[in-house]
Amino acid sequence: NAGVTQTPKFQVLKTGQSMTLQCAQDMNHNSMYWYRQDPGMGLRLIYYSASEGTTDKGEVPNGYNVSRLNKREFSLRLESAAPSQTSVYFCASRKEIYSNQPQHFGDGTRLSIL
Amino acid sequence: QQQVKQSPQSLIVQKGGISIINCAYENTAFDYFPWYQQFPGKGPALLIAIRPDVSEKKEGRFTISFNKSAKQFSLHIMDSQPGDSATYFCAARNYGGATNKLIFGTGTLLAVQP
How far apart are the C-alpha atoms of B65 and B58, rounded to whole Å? 9
**CB within 8 Å: B43 and A4:** yes
**Residue B7 with chain A: CB contacts under 8 Å:** none
Q: Is B77 on the interface with A (CB under 8 A)?
A: no
Read off the pLDDT of residues A77-99 as tens digits, 9 standing for 90 and up: 999 999 999 999 999 999 887 77
pLDDT tens figures, A3-12: 999 999 999 9
pLDDT band at B97 (very low <50, low <70, confident <90, very high): low
What's the pLDDT band for A20 if we cut at 50, 70, 90?
A: very high
* Pick from B43, B99, B100: CB nearest A90: B43
| pLDDT tens by residue, B65-95 | 999 999 999 999 999 999 999 999 999 987 7
* Single-letter residue type at B83: G
- Contact with chain A for residue B96, Cβ under 8 A: no
Examine the pLDDT at B99 and tell me if it is beyond 80. Answer: no
Look at B34 and A58 and tell me if their CB atoms are within 8 Å.
Answer: no
Q: Tell me the sheet residues that pair with A25.
A: A4
Q: Is the pLDDT of residue B6 over 90?
A: yes
A62, A98, A50, B28: CA torsion to nearest 10: -20
Cα distance from B42 to chain A (closest Cα, Å)?
A: 4
Q: Do A45 and B101 touch (CB under 8 A)?
A: yes
Terminal alpha carbon distance of chain A: 35
Concatenated DSSP letters of chain B: ---EEEE-SEEEEETTS-EEEEEEE--TT--BEEEEEE-TTS--EEEEEE-TT-SEEEETTEEEEEETTTTEEEEEESS--GGG-EEEEEEEE-TTSSS--EEE---EEEEEE-
Contact predicate A41/B104, CB 8 Å:
no
Which DSSP category does A79 fall into? S
Q: Looking at CA atoms only, how far is residue A107 from chain B in angstroms?
A: 4
pLDDT value, residue B107? 95
Closest among A18, A110, A22, A20 to A70, alpha carbons compared: A22
Continuous segment of H or E residues that includes residue A11: strand A10-13
Per-residue pLDDT band for B13 (boundaries 50, 70, 90) equals very high
How confident is the model at residue B46, as a pLDDT? 94
pLDDT at site A39: 87
Contact assessment for residue B1 and residue B102, using Cβ atoms and an 8 Å cutoff:
no
A40-80: pLDDT as tens digits: 888 999 999 999 999 999 989 999 999 998 999 999 999 99
Residue contact B49–A102, C-beta within 8 A: yes
How many CB contacts within 8 angstroms connect chain A with chain B?
46
